[in-house]
Structure 1
Amino acid sequence: MDLTQTLTPVVTIGLNQHPNSFNYSMTELNNLAEANNMKVVETLVQKLDRPDPATYFGKGKIEELGQVVIDDGVDTIVANDELSPSQIRNIEKATKARIIDRTGLILEIFANRAQSREAKLQVELAKLKYQLPRLHTSASQRLDQQTGTSSGAGGATNRGAGESQYEMNRRTLEKRITHVNHELKEADKADQIKRQQRDKSETPTVALVGYTNAGKSTIMNGMINLLGENEDKQVLVKNMLFATLDTSVRKLALPDQKKFLLSDTVGFVSQLPHQLVQAFKSTLAEAANADLLIQVVDYSDPHRDMMIKTTEDTLKEIGIDNIPMVVALNKADKMETPYPTREGDNLIMAATDKKSLVELTAIIKEKVFKNFKTLQLMIPFDKGDVVSYLNDNATVLKTDYDANGTLITAELNEVDAKRFSRYVQPVD
């Protein structure tokens, strides 16, 4: 967050319907508000079994909220749940303040952070789908501004004109949704071509997934440094929810020449808006096509079990539930526990610790290169291109020469083993 930027003062509100997770969800809401350049000046909560269908809070609490808005001099309220159009309209009418719900807040953050064309399109699609059923709210002017439509200088003066304006706004949104969907399909085709080209090389893929701010980008940069790659391959690291939305992919080489692709994907958060889960399917395609997932978890956070469940539930919702996974319990340096420590497919580690990164790299090597075969190949001297390919793309264990050609002992993936099967020699 740019500290020189003026922060918008807000009041956050929430209903305590789930005592076990409520305090954490409110803390997370306040962190999301901070990530959206807001300053939380007061938090108001109420314990209810279910939201009031008209005003979210009960009548007395709404009156208290209106007074808090006046006393604190704020004009924005942030709610911890997704609100209905009528709830938004009624709260705004009662408090004379703008109301933004949790879904709208996350959408604003994503809209501000999206960098690539595809991410911007995905966020726009999610916002349009979120706005469509909310055309009747008092936020119509903001809707017009966000979508590029205009309600006219004078506004509606009778019911007929209002209905006409509503239909015009609705058609504009639906037309834009169709257009964005088309652009996303074109962008997805281009991404599929890129992935197919990578698949042809049979380079294994590893995807970092997990809760936002768990340390995925720090782990990626640590591995880039560990494996001696150029610094310009590093990705953005910032101590903020949703610091980056775009998936970053880097090709890394192990000391024995084995290569793999490592991707850093967008982080998850509890109550992630359904619109975004659907819209970001293509962004998370790197995870969907991975050979191995590394779920990065903030081991020092007391709510880590909830974070793990949130990540796994989100992955399952978008159809990613059948890929081998390793859990990296990160930030162990904040705990009084030894690290790195491996427990099955779990690794207790710290992203800033070299030994931890070495152990994580060893796990990746163990998991994604397990099907490699050690073969002895006799390459004729006139097939120098094959020798060059093997030296560049395989783990060459030994090289000898005789009258027939170059005798190479190498570890090959299944595709290359089949490709060069005619050169295979029996091992003595």
Structure 2
Amino acid sequence: MSNSKENVILIGCRLPSMDEQRFQYSMEELASLTHTANGIVKLQITQKRDRPDPSTYIGRGKVEELKPVIDELEIDVVIFNSELTPSQMRNLNRELKVRIIDRTQLILDIFAQRAKSREGKLQVELAQLEYLLPRLAGHGTELSKLGGGIGTRGPGETQLETDRRHIRARIQDIKNQLSVIVEHRIRYRKRRKRNKSFHIALIGYTNAGKSTLFNRLTDAESYEEDKLFATLDPLTRQMILPSGYKVLLSDTVGFIEDLPTTLVAAFRSTLEEVREADLLLHVVDSSNPDYFQHEKTVKKILTELQADNIPILTLYNKIELKHHDFVPIAETDVLQISAFKETDRYKVKRFIEDMLLKEMDEYNVELPPTEGKTLSRLKEETILRELKFNDKQETYICKGYILTDHPLHGEIKKYKNGDGKRSEE
């Protein structure tokens, strides 16, 4: 991976379907993505069109205007704000004689930088290969001389150029490897369900502050940086609620508008973490002027994942920096917080616990000292509100709340008569 900064021109077409403000936000996001990929934006060129030019995306006149500017500013990469067709990529490469990438490639490139786990790396490589396969003819000599930089991380381009069969074989090989990992993930989820661990997933637009919140709620060491897609590999850690009750919290990859379809497909097994959750914490950056659109994007992706029926707590984060036009719009339960404030994090945990209590059954049992293992599990796996020793009966009086379908539910029913003796069913 190249660490040197590269000079970049950003190009976008504003189509009739997008208003001026939305278009400007999308260009700002493209600039942020470029910064994350180690690029320096030297110039932004925008054009208003009824539709993109089928052969060069921007008009022929703009292409001619670009040629001297590329030389003058010593541009390394030209990045387009939409996905280019293979023919557009081929024509632009031929005309401008500089590396051309589109928004999809840029996102794939960032994912390639961020992937740390074996699964993450395989998923990114799969997405890159499937994206590049129909476009190989367009890259030709460009690919053979690339030595690194934005849009080139991941699979080796010279090999890709020489033999499509190798790519198809590699795609199949990656899919086979991923299927083994997916099986392991499914087994882990089944085990988690058997143990009735309450599972919460952090979701949100990229750079909303999910990892910062995750680290402070769980005392974990998830990668945390003020850049887009700082977290790629999903992490799951224990989070302890105020009562001492332990739940599982997963940090997930940030969503983004028009997330490349190849990535959605490749990361489907990872995104299953979201679909399998009992509760979603939707983190929204209230300081971002485009927060409304970010919320809509996340909801759209949840619908695509068939996860829009899971209870949601919306957390408007960075409230100390909130945008002057910010107004909470979520129709679900809402908290306004700063991930850095301990009192706010406690508020989140308290809210989750109160929500959980509504879903739980109350219990009041007396356990004999011989049931030490059951007592230990009540402490670990239920919300234990009261625990005292009854000297007269020589039993432990336990009062608390338990999930209705928890395996322990049936166990402790045997002691519900309150004399510490097992009742016969």
Q: Give the alignment's TM-score, normalised by structure 2.
A: 0.88
Q: Secondary structure at the match of 2:358?
A: coil
Which segment drifts farther, 276-285 or 327-336? 327-336
Which AA in structure 2 matches 1:359?
Answer: K
The answer to whether the 8 A contact 1:213-1:267 is kept is yes
Paired with 2:204 and 2:107, the residues of 1 have a C-alpha distance of 17
Q: Indicate which of 357, 360, 385 corresponds to 1:372.
A: 360
- Check 1:129–1:110 CA distance in 2 against 1; reply closer, same or farther (3 A cut): same
The answer to whether the 8 A contact 2:288-2:323 is kept is no
- What corresponds to 1:349 in structure 2? 337
Deviation at 1:126, TM superposition (A): 0.5
- What corresponds to 1:15 in structure 2? 13
Q: Secondary structure at the match of 2:370?
A: coil
Deviation at 1:372, TM superposition (A): 1.8
Which AA in structure 2 matches 1:357?
Answer: R
Structure 2 residue runs of 5 or longer lacking an equivalent are 147-153, 420-425
Structure 1 residue runs of 5 or longer lacking an equivalent are 152-164, 225-230
Which segment drifts farther, 181-190 or 365-374? 365-374
Paired with 1:347 and 1:59, the residues of 2 have a C-alpha distance of 51
- What corresponds to 2:348 in structure 1? 360
| 2:284 is aligned with 1:297 | yes
- What corresponds to 2:389 in structure 1? 400
- Check 1:255–1:335 CA distance in 2 against 1; reply closer, same or farther (3 A cut): closer
| 2:182 is aligned with 1:198 | no
Paired with 1:75 and 1:253, the residues of 2 have a C-alpha distance of 49
Query: Could you give the per-residue CA deviations for residues 112-166 of structure 1, whole angstroms, max 9, x where no partner exists?
Result: 1100011111101111110111121124663898645757xxxxxxxxxxxxx98
- Check 1:120–1:417 CA distance in 2 against 1; reply closer, same or farther (3 A cut): same
Which AA in structure 1 matches 2:200?
Answer: V
Paired with 1:44 and 1:148, the residues of 2 have a C-alpha distance of 31
Deviation at 1:393, TM superposition (A): 2.9
- What corresponds to 2:204 in structure 1? 210
Query: Could you give the per-residue CA deviations for residues 303-336 of structure 1, whole angstroms, max 9, x where no partner exists?
Result: 1110001111112222221111111111110138
- Check 1:200–1:294 CA distance in 2 against 1; reply closer, same or farther (3 A cut): same
Paired with 1:287 and 1:61, the residues of 2 have a C-alpha distance of 43
Deviation at 1:174, TM superposition (A): 1.3
Paired with 2:125 and 2:302, the residues of 1 have a C-alpha distance of 22
Which AA in structure 1 matches 2:121?
Answer: K
Which segment drifts farther, 398-407 or 140-149? 140-149
Seq. identity, %: 37
Which AA in structure 1 matches 2:85?
Answer: S
Which AA in structure 1 matches 2:336?
Answer: I
The answer to whether the 8 A contact 2:242-2:349 is kept is no
Query: Could you give the per-residue CA deviations for residues 259-306 of structure 1, whole angstroms, max 9, x where no partner exists?
Result: 111111110112211111111111122211111111111112121110
Query: Could you give the per-residue CA deviations for residues 11-70 of structure 1, whole angstroms, max 9, x where no partner exists?
Result: 111101123411011111011011001111111111101100001111101101112111
- What corresponds to 2:75 in structure 1? 74
Q: Indicate which of 220, 237, 242 corresponds to 1:255.
A: 242
Paired with 1:319 and 1:394, the residues of 2 have a C-alpha distance of 29
| 2:294 is aligned with 1:310 | no
Which AA in structure 2 matches 1:406?
Answer: Y
- What corresponds to 2:230 in structure 1? 243
Paired with 2:403 and 2:42, the residues of 1 have a C-alpha distance of 58
- What corresponds to 1:154 in structure 2? none
Task: Count how many residue pairs are aligned between Structure 1 and Structure 2.
Answer: 402
Deviation at 1:421, TM superposition (A): 1.7
Q: Give the alignment's TM-score, normalised by structure 1.
A: 0.87
Which AA in structure 2 matches 1:14?
Answer: G
Q: Secondary structure at the match of 2:380?
A: helix
Paired with 2:231 and 2:191, the residues of 1 have a C-alpha distance of 26
| 2:395 is aligned with 1:385 | no
Deviation at 1:180, TM superposition (A): 0.7
